[in-house]
Each structure stands twice: as structure tokens, then as C-alpha cells.
Structure 1
Amino acid sequence: MEAVARGVVEQAIDDELNDRRLELNHNTFKRFEEMGILADAESAMFGKIYAEAFSYFINFKMHSREPISLKEMEEFERVIDRRVFEIKGRIRHLSGR
């Protein structure tokens, strides 16, 4: 994955971990959990952050008109793997309030 694409993925994660955005998402997913629509608000929040990062990556690749290689997908997963504990920690911090 080229540096720009990796930066796009990192920026997407950073945007989603913004305090205000994270709190808004937490409140929404927690309400859905309390209504019985979701089984687990924390997992839903993690899925949203993952999906946003993947969406940013796909959009970047679409605009560059380059196909996504298997190697790039593997590197995308490594970026997520590298930040998974940070993401989960931020979500748990909100849930623990």
C-alpha cells in the first residue's frame, strides 16, 4: 500500500476516534443496545470504525483508478491490527463512564 493510501486509512481512524464523534456514536449505539436492536454497542462501534476506514480506502483507490491488490488488502489489515487496542480502548473508556 502506498504511503498516501495508508495515510488515508490512518486519517479515517483518527477522524472516527475524535472525542465528539466517538461520543455521538456511543450514545446512538448504546440506545440501540438498550432497545434490543443491537446485542453489543461496543462491537457495533468497532465495526463502524473499521467500515469507515475501509470505505475511505476504497474511495481513495476508486479515484486513483487502480485495482486493489491482495498485498494492499493485507496491509490495510495490518494498519487495523496495529491500532486495534487503541480503538477498543477508546470505546471501552466511553462505555465505562
Structure 2
Amino acid sequence: MAALVEILLPVIGNRESAYRNIRKQLTEKFGGVTFHANAPAEGLWKDGEETETDKIIVVEVMVDEIDREWWRRYRQELEAAFEQEEIVIRATPIERL
């Protein structure tokens, strides 16, 4: 089943080369990528009593099938590259019209 895979990346310092690399990797593997980078979204979450805030970039890729193992490894690579405890990657089933 086709799916839209979304990657929520943090906006951290000067990571332009990392973002370029992600664009290149995903375009080569899946044939295209959408980067919502011009107006970063704001992510909020609770950490105990504190509310944390991040600026995030949403990266989207449409896939015909979800290779869960590939995405698990890719998430780990991104977590290391961005020095994050967790990078969220989520998939939503889609129907192409």
C-alpha cells in the first residue's frame, strides 16, 4: 500500500550540508522528496512539568511499500547526525488520485 512518510527534523545551527545530503539520499532512493523548510513548524511537548519547544522541518516522501527495517536504520542515522534522542518518522497510508 502506498504511504506518505514524514520525517520531523530539528532546525539546529548550521546543518545545511546534512539537509542537502538528506534531500539527495531520499531523491535517489525514492525518486523525489518534499522539504518544508521555508517556514519551520514549531513542535511542543511536555517533559515533566516543563514544556519544550523545537523548530522543525517536515520532510515528505511517497513510497509504494514501507521497508520498516530501512526506515529504522535511517532514523538511527538521523538521530546520530542531529544528536537527538529521537527523530520522529511516521507513515500514513495514501491513495493517489
Q: TM-score range by the shorter chain?
A: 0.3 to 0.5
**TM-score where L is the length of structure 2:** 0.32
Q: Which has the larger radius of gyration?
A: 1
Q: Which has the higher helix share?
A: 1
Question: Structure 1-normalised TM-score?
Answer: 0.32
Bigger RCO of structures 1 and 2 (CA < 8 A, at least 6 apart): 2
